[in-house]
Chains A and B, each alone.
Chain A
Amino acid sequence: MVETIIQETVEELGNKINTRIKKLFGRSLAIREVDAGSCNACEVEAMALEYPFYDMERFGIHVVASPRHADVLLITGPVTRNMELGLVQAYKATPSPKIVIAMGTCAITGGIFKDSYAVANGVDGLIPVDVYIPGCPPPPQAIMQGLMVALDKMESGFNASKF
């Protein structure tokens, strides 16, 4: 149909991410996944990055258990009313400099849940977002590309106005 769009193999892309992370941090990149009312499709795709095919631990990308240990917040879901406070608290608990990634259509605009009485129509209205990864859900390759874009943003300098 259309020529193969994805040019790089997982190995090439991962090694590129690895060298950039090592140069920027001198250690691994810590990601905290925040589920703000997601349908779990995005979680399944993010979890696929941990499975042997992608295995992002070998490229120096860790998923950590607390926002206090994290450099990157990976937010999924259309921020439900019950999760609004939790999300803001997770954002405030993350040590600066931090990067916020809105993953999936729900986290960007609310997606299929848009204008429902129970959701806040995406992460945008609550906390500043640095990288948007569209997709419903975005496949693991797209998440890796999103991390590349996040590293671009880190290299160009963090926003000083952030607390």
Chain B
Amino acid sequence: MIYECKEANHSMMFKMLRNGVMRKGIITTKYPRERIVPFDGDKGLPVVSASRCNFCAACAMACPTGAIQIIEQIVELDIGACIFCGACERACDQEALKMSPLVELATKKREGLRMRY
């Protein structure tokens, strides 16, 4: 008796599946053809907005590797020394310095890693 019941349930389930009860459209991803979207917390190239910066040098003092130098109203950033820790972003009162998600920074020349804002 119980066995019959189970069988009846199964056949019901198959009928429902055939009619598309559990279908929800395409649920697979386009792996590996999907684009890589950076996470919110990802840290990349620090970007300085020149209009907001007041050259207080708080970022240069906070930098653990000395990657940021301020020379006569120019913020010079050495990506070759930057460790992308975000200490400069936290130290900035004016919110002038922001970590962007840009990570593809490889260059042929050492000079190409020095950014000036």
Using a CB–CB distance below 8 Å, which chain A residues touch chain B? 1-2, 4-11, 53, 55, 105, 108-109, 111-112, 114, 124, 129-136, 138-139, 141-142, 145-146, 148-149, 152-153
**Interchain CA distance A146-B108 in the complex, whole Å:** 9
Using a CB–CB distance below 8 Å, which chain B residues touch chain A? 31-38, 40, 44, 64-66, 78-85, 100-110, 112-113
Cβ-neighbour of A142 out of B31, B64, B103 (below 8 A) = B103
B32 surroundings in chain A (CB, below 8 A): 9-11, 53, 55
Query: Lowest 6 A-B CB distances belong to which pairs?
Result: A146-B106, A136-B83, A108-B80, A145-B104, A133-B106, A134-B79
Max chain A Cβ within 10 angstroms of own Cβ: one of B33, B35, B79, B81: B81
Contact between chains at A132 and B107 (CB < 8 Å): yes
What are 6 inter-chain pairs, A to B, with CB distance below 8 A? A7-B35, A114-B66, A132-B108, A132-B109, A134-B113, A152-B108
Contact between chains at A2 and B65 (CB < 8 Å): no
Contact between chains at B83 and A112 (CB < 8 Å): yes
Known contacts A105-B80, A124-B110; A142/B104 CB under 8 A: yes
Contact between chains at B83 and A105 (CB < 8 Å): yes
Contact between chains at B105 and A136 (CB < 8 Å): no
Minimal beta-carbon separation of B46 from chain A (angstroms): 12
Contact between chains at B40 and A132 (CB < 8 Å): no
**Interchain CA distance A53-B33 in the complex, whole Å:** 10
Contact between chains at B34 and A114 (CB < 8 Å): no
**Interchain CA distance A153-B109 in the complex, whole Å:** 11
Contact between chains at A132 and B110 (CB < 8 Å): yes
Cβ-neighbour of B38 out of A6, A11, A105, A149 (below 8 A) = A6
